Amino acid sequence: MSSLKRTALYDWHVDHGGRMVDFAGWELPVFYESGAIEEHHATRNSVGLFDIDHMGQLDVVGSDAVDFVDSLVTSDMSTLDIGSAKYGLLCHDDGTVIDDVIVYRLAEEHMMVVVNAANRDVDRTWIEDHTTGNDVTVTDRSNVLEMIAVQGPNAVALVDAVTRVNVASIERFSSASIELFGTRALVGRTGYTGEDGVELYIDGGVVDVWTGLLAKAEELDIAATAIGLGARDSLRFEPGYPLYGHELSRDINPFEARLSWAVNLVDADGRDKDFVGADALRTIKAEGIARRLETLTMIDKGVPREGSIVIGADGNELGPVVSGMFAPTVDAFACNAFLPIGYGEVGTTLAVDIRGRQKAAVITKRPLYRR
């Protein structure tokens, strides 16, 4: 895996038993010695630390920064306050999804777009291709900022213990500049686990921050655990968060993915919001969708995997599983699939074809977990 990129925490992961795998071109731990299920419960019960430095951060600066980002993102950025953040989607002209992003407004003319690791280069190029005629400069800071997440019911208390800023007072989807362990960081009250917590954008010194947080947790008798990709996946799956390449892709639009709440076709002033893909999404909304993302839990024993086919009562193929796994909090095997409208009523019994055998499953209310 010598061609893979490594984060600054690579040596720490290896020294502490991390099983390293290829994830979007990065060599990252899928789990440590305790295993993914234990890491999942550790985050739900106390604090999990996540190395997410593979994600990308794009600065958009200039007098047109707010309007420019607003013209690219499905959610309304025009009223985003300084220090606040918002979830949104980048879409193609036909309304299908390029990526899902978090956008921070850091200053009057400064926006930061946080993009997924697998789409860093695609997103940057796509955004840069739309800059013509706008007073903006796009700067990729992905190799400068180091990023970790601290998630779980004790996460905010732990970060509060190592900085002078009262992180607990920062509202969800808001941010602040803090100092910890001799370096500065932007702290965002965001996350990808369904738990409370923060994401830290660190201006150098991530190893000191990571080890310092673990040491402080031990001092305060707070259980803090390093978390790999396996638990990260199950932690996002249970509260219903999408993962690009699974619940989102070039073949999926936001309405199919149950993300209509992140699509503002009308702005705060009641006018049609103009962004890339808006016209197509207006048409899709007016005509209705033919399929929608549903969650199924297994009745029969079986592990539903991506690509398995969901089967209707009459034996017809309804659609492929896009994510499937064991959900530790609810102690069940479950999966997500895009199914034709009419098959999504909670309690409907269907089947999942697992290695040629049909295993019973039931449509389940989403999300599987809510804090």
Q: pLDDT by residue for the chain (371 residues), tens digit each?
A: 469 999 999 999 999 999 999 999 999 999 999 999 999 999 999 999 999 999 999 999 999 999 999 999 999 999 999 999 999 999 999 999 999 999 999 999 999 999 999 999 999 999 999 999 999 999 999 999 999 999 999 999 999 999 999 999 999 999 999 999 999 999 999 999 999 999 999 999 999 999 999 999 999 999 999 999 999 999 999 999 999 999 999 999 999 999 999 999 999 999 999 999 999 999 999 999 999 999 999 999 999 999 999 999 999 999 999 999 999 999 999 999 999 999 999 999 999 999 999 999 999 999 999 99
Q: Which residues of 147-170 are buried (b: 16+ CB within 10 A; e: fewer)?
A: bbbbbbebbbbbbbebeeeebeeb
Q: What is the pLDDT of residue 141?
A: 97
Q: What is the pLDDT of residue 192?
A: 98
Token pair of 233, please?
């996946």
Residue 139 phi/psi, 5-degree rounding, is -125, 125
Residue spans in the chain of domains classed CATH 3.30.1360.120? 10-52+144-237
Q: How far apart are CA 369 and CA 315, in angstroms?
A: 30
Determine the residue type at 75.
Answer: S
Contacts of 288 (CB under 8 A, 6+ apart): 341
Residue with tokens 């940057």: 124
Q: What is the pLDDT of residue 2?
A: 67
Asked whether the beta carbons of 36 and 231 are under 8 A apart, the reply is yes
What count of other Cβ atoms lies within 10 Å of the Cβ of residue 315? Answer: 8
Token pair of 216, please?
């402080």
Q: What is the pLDDT of residue 272?
A: 96
Asked whether the beta carbons of 300 and 284 are under 8 A apart, the reply is no
**Bridge-partner residues for 57, per DSSP?**
114
Helical ranges in the chain per DSSP H: 10-15, 36-45, 65-70, 120-129, 155-160, 206-219, 229-237, 278-287
Token pair of 274, please?
């103009």
List the CATH code of the domain at 290-371: 2.40.30.110
Residue with tokens 């989807």: 173
Sheet strands (E) in the chain? 19-23, 26-31, 47-51, 56-61, 85-91, 97-107, 110-115, 137-140, 146-151, 175-180, 183-188, 197-202, 224-227, 291-298, 309-311, 317-327, 332-340, 349-354, 357-364
Q: What is the pLDDT of residue 86?
A: 98
Provide the Cα torsion 98, 104, 106, 112; round to 10°. Answer: -20
List the CATH code of the domain at 10-52+144-237: 3.30.1360.120
Dihedral sign computed on CA atoms, order 48, 53, 54, 55: positive
Q: In Å, how far from its chain's centre is CA 95?
A: 20
Alpha carbon separation from 217 to 157, 223, 230 (Å, rounded): 10, 7, 23
Mapping DSSP to helix (H, G, I), strand (E, B) and coil, where does residue 43 land?
A: helix
For the chain, give the longest Cα–Cα distance: 64
Residue spans in the chain of domains classed CATH 3.30.70.1400? 56-138+254-288
Strand-pair category, 56-61 with 110-115:
antiparallel
What count of other Cβ atoms lies within 10 Å of the Cβ of residue 63? Answer: 12
* pTM (two decimals): 0.97
List the CATH code of the domain at 56-138+254-288: 3.30.70.1400
Q: How far apart are CA 104 and CA 112, in angstroms?
A: 5
Residue 333 phi/psi, 5-degree rounding, is -85, 135
Q: How far apart are CA 224 and CA 326, in angstroms?
A: 23
**Bridge-partner residues for 118, per DSSP?**
none
Residue spans in the chain of domains classed CATH 2.40.30.110? 290-371
Token pair of 342, please?
């009419």
Alpha carbon separation from 148 to 158, 227, 277 (Å, rounded): 14, 11, 32
Residue with tokens 């895996």: 1
CA R_g for the chain: 21
What does the DSSP 8-state code read for residue 293?
E
